[in-house]
Amino acid sequence: MATGRTREKVRNVFTSPSLPFPSEGDENLAELVRASLVRTLRLSRKSREEIAAGLSRRLGFEVSVNTLNSFAAESRPGHRFPLEWAAAWMRETGDYGLLGILCDALGLATPEPGSREMVEFARARLEADIAAQDAEGWKARILRTGKLPGR
């Protein structure tokens, strides 16, 4: 279970100004998400009916073909694909385009599906970054007070 201090460190890592975020106004991903859904539906070996049934099974509630069509339709801009469906969508369709869109928007590398080593490396890197931030905090504290901790 993460403590408040750990959560704050993780939050600081992700809100750090050093991340290469896109310029303001470039973060509305609605059209990119819609285009990815259209591409996936068009190129999938599964029918829309099969995808809807698979999503229904994975999500635990009914997803209709009409819902999928609404998400993909340019004429239905108010119908947005929910982020909480993304994992089920990627597993059901085998297409990881949505993950790529999100990672690109955040300036992050997109891991390849099944690349466990990459995920473990990212986790280790995050832990190292948190430890480095913690060490910098201690260093600043020592320099401010002129005392070593515990003395």
Most confident region among 42-46, 106-110, 138-142 by mean pLDDT = 42-46
0.75 exceeded by the pTM? no
Quick check: 42 pLDDT over 90? yes
Predicted local distance difference test score (pLDDT) of residue 25: 57
Alpha carbon distance 141, 12 (integer Å): 18
Lowest mean pLDDT: which of 44-48, 80-84, 109-113, 127-131? 109-113
pLDDT at 56 (0 to 100): 97
For residues 96 and 141, membership in a common domain is answered with no
Domain that holds residue 85: 27-110
User: Does residue 121 contact residue 35 with C-beta atoms inside 8 Å?
Assistant: no
**Residue for token pair 């990459």:** 118
User: Are 97 and 149 contained in the same domain?
Assistant: no
Same domain for 146 and 92: no
Residues 117, 93, single domain; the answer is no
What integer is the mean pLDDT of 11-40?
68
pLDDT at 64 over 80: yes
SS3 label, residue 129: helix
Residues 124, 82, single domain; the answer is no
Q: Which residue has the higher pLDDT, 2 or 55?
A: 55
106 and 119: one domain? Answer: no
Q: So what's the pLDDT on residue 57?
A: 97
The answer to the question of residue 49 being in a domain is yes
Q: Do 52 and 79 belong together in one domain?
A: yes
Average pLDDT over residues 93-119: 80
- Same-domain check for residues 124 and 86: no
> Based on the domain organization, do 94 and 116 belong to the same domain?
no
